Amino acid sequence: MSFFYKKLLSTFFILIFLVGCTNKAPITNRNQFIFMSEQQEIALGKQSYKETLKKATLSSDTFQSNRVKRIGKRIAAVVNRTDYKWEFNLVENKAKNAFCLPGGKVVVYTGILEVAKNDSQLATVISHEIAHALARHGAERVSMGMVSNLIGNIGNIVLGSTHPQYVKTFNIAYGAGTQYGVMLPYGRMQESEADEIGIHLMQLSNYNIHEALNFWTNMSKNSKQSKSSFFSTHPSSQERISNIKRIIRKIN
């Protein structure tokens, strides 16, 4: 068997293996392709969290820091993940952002407090970020990236053996196709899914889920974002609010 066919065959079996690596997202029950173990993911999250805190400045505002911890722990209590070692920290940063690393390591930027006007609105942010970790969106994106690279390699094998002069053209086209046709829309889907899971977590922890709409309305004020979200990893605020209204109607 020639080297080309051996490589093509091995790639085919790898794809078969990937198809078998399925997972279910919580609440939505969406099928996922993830081939990183959760233990590996949590270990990486712990390492990344330590590195993040080394470079960050923790907020000296005791009241707001305790507020973040209190809200975070209340949401974590309904998650029931004994393998997660929950930590919640408020970090000095003007960006209106927050994130949750695998294993329950949550960082909230002080900038988000400007638009999270009450505890339920802050719970909207924290529950959304926790939802990303619970749904293993980070591991899913890593897995999808690896699949994208693998498909690219298959294209290179085929074109390289038949029309080698087209390999460079294929790589350029494939890169654009991956960015705008696969990875970015995939990111928007994950964001919408995290919204849905987060709203359910808010309800379970007895926060006012209607305040999620007010939070995203606050975020959209004076926003310079385009009305279209095609080239963005996040849905527009208008899309987000519409989606959250649908989720609330479904819950009620």
Q: pLDDT, tens digit, for every residue of 182-227?
A: 445 558 889 999 999 999 999 999 999 999 999 999 998 856 554 4
Confidence band (pLDDT; 50, 70, 90) for 107?
very high
Total structural domains in the chain? Answer: 1
To the query of whether residue 114 is one of the catalytic residues in this protein, the response is no
Domain span holding position 77: 3-251
In the prediction, which pLDDT does 138 show? 83
The residue annotated as part of the active site, out of 41, 87, 129, 140, is 129
Q: Which residue has the higher pLDDT, 121 or 233?
A: 121
Confidence band (pLDDT; 50, 70, 90) for 143?
confident
In the prediction, which pLDDT does 14 show? 55
Q: What is the chain's mean pLDDT, rounded? A: 80
Percent of the chain at pLDDT above 70?
70
Give the pLDDT mean for 18-39.
80
pTM greater than the 0.85 cutoff: no
Q: For residues 99-126, b (16+ Cβ closer than 10 Å) or e, as one string? A: bbbbbbbbbbbbbbbebbeeebbbbbbb
pLDDT(164) > 80? no
